[in-house]
Amino acid sequence: MASETRHFDYLVLGSGIAGLTFALKVAAHGRVALITKKNRADSSTNWAQGGIASVTSREDSFALHVHDTLEAGAGLCHGDVVRRIVEEGPARIAELIELGTQFTEREVPSDPSRRELDLTKEGGHSKRRILHAKDATGAEIERALLAAIAAQPNIVVFENHLAIDLVTTAKLGLAGPNRVVGVYVFDELALRVEVFAGPVVVLATGGTGKVYLYTTNPDIATGDGVAMAYRAGLPIANMEFVQFHPTCLYHPQAKTFLISEAVRGEGAVLRGADGQRFMDRYDARAELAPRDIVARAIDSEMKRTGADCVFLDITHRGADFIRDHFPNIHAKCLEFGIDLTREPIPVVPAAHYQCGGVVTNLDGETEITGLFAIGEVACTGLHGANRLASNSLLEALVCAHRAAGRALALPPPDSGPAIPPWQTGRATDPDELVVVAHNWDELRRTMWDYVGIVRTNKRLRRAEKRLGNLQEEIREFYWGYTVTADLLELRNLCTVAELIVACALQRPESRGLHYNLDFPASDPTWAQRDTVVRRGSQS
């Protein structure tokens, strides 16, 4: 399974907005390997419907955007990080537009001959500041970035390549400060492990949604970057804060289709099975409360009434408005026999976004020299205990820009050490893949049942015990058999699940997305305190 080492100046893992932006910004200075586990367009960015938050209106201000972010983050955001990302947002948005991203515009009311950005509003925002491309914003951003990537001869894209583990000088047993020197990568088509060598490695691998039974994330969201960083000895923080999007389409054939928060931003209301609105009983902001509040309210209503779902109703806005503003959502719902211009949409919460991750600074730097983490995989301190809607694409864009600048400023390293080829040892081809499939299902059900929207210490301890047993089985399978993509992803998912539980057990309070019935109130002494897990120790 061994192959010749591939040498590059920059190794970028992931092809969403963070990875693509970084690759574009360093391409003029060296050869870039863009390594992505499926097709280059398969990313959470491509699935993003709502938009990207930034201050572009005279009616808005940086101070208001900062305030809204801090309010949603429930006392855990890093204020300096929030301010820097918010203030640097407009310049990065301008770059996206210059690259060819076509955000939706509208006529200027006072002058129909002119056009301006059409801004929408989402939960937790005090002003309209969400730039969007109808209801397929991520796909439009991904399109523009991939077109720019295709024009860069210095960028080589490796599709169907799944990173297995980071290679560092510490892992090779070399003296001196620890730095990254490469990555072991599984070629899913050739069924072999390849060595990629380079002095700069960027984790832009996205989130961990597939650790839960129900998620809005694509199948690729298996926490690969977080798991690799943890195995490399890096600190992982705030993994207990898993954002459940309140409104995922509830239909037996829909799987993971998200109903954008922008639908509520344009006036949709949530109704119970009895047809009555209920959000005003939970928060004065009703449907436009932050996601953690809305998701818990829906969960509470479903448990109180025994209903399988609740209903999102925008019929009062009229058919023309709905079809114009939400063409993709309208078309997708019609595929399942639901006409949202005439009837409410059945919805349930589903795992959506990872607010914690690999500990980095604002420039995406980790404790290992040359290793960066940007986008959802990273924990910069922007999101705190709950991400404000549409701040994710903003963070990825700003931090990718800053990481590229920092990477270009690094002193040129000496020629890296030789990386030994992947060793299969006595591993044989797996003979019972049903074990992998069974463990995958058990893991995701365990997380959904015990580490979901509402938790208790008893449930968390049960999850901890079951995950420990699963980890032992996975470890035995990993070392005994040749690797497969499913096995590698299962290995990463189990590691991520354990990290979520470990962080949740550290926090003796409820805050933001982490709600524990044993500690239903927030503890002021835990404000501004991150939960951190490092391999071999917890602190």
In tens, the pLDDT along 109-157 reads 878 878 888 899 888 899 999 999 987 888 899 999 999 999 999 999 9
Catalytic annotation on 534?
no
| Domain covering 434-521: architecture | Up-down Bundle (1.20)
List Cα–Cα distances, 463 to 97, 212, 436, 446, 447, in angstroms: 45, 12, 19, 6, 7
- Coil vs helix vs strand at 451: coil
**Which H, E and C letters describe 146-172, residue by residue?**
HHHHHCCCCEEEECCEEEEEEEECCCC
Quickly list DSSP for 207-237.
Answer: --GGGSSSBSS-TT-S-HHHHHHHHTT--EE
In tens, the pLDDT along 246-275 reads 999 999 888 778 898 889 989 999 999 999
Q: What pLDDT score does 136 carry? A: 80
Query: For residues 512 and 388, what is the distance between their CA atoms, to the nearest angstrom?
Result: 11
On whether the CB atoms of residues 51 and 237 are closer than 8 A, the answer is no
- Number of H helices and number of E strands within the chain? 14, 23
Query: For residues 436 and 433, what is the distance between their CA atoms, to the nearest angstrom?
Result: 5
pTM for the complete prediction? 0.91
For CA atoms 32, 406, 178, 374, the dihedral sign is: negative
Q: What pLDDT score does 271 carry? A: 97
Every domain of the chain and the residues it spans: 245-349, 434-521
Q: What pLDDT score does 393 carry? A: 94
Assigned CATH class of 245-349: alpha beta
Q: What pLDDT score does 22 carry? A: 98
Strand order in the sheet with 130-131: 52-53, 130-131, 119-120
- The one catalytic residue in 84, 291, 444, 466 is 291
Query: Mean pLDDT per 10-residue run, the chain (539 residues)?
Result: 82 96 97 90 65 94 97 96 98 96 87 86 91 87 94 96 97 94 96 96 96 88 97 98 93 84 92 96 92 90 91 96 93 95 95 96 97 98 95 96 97 84 75 80 93 95 97 88 90 97 98 96 96 75
Q: What pLDDT score does 413 carry? A: 74
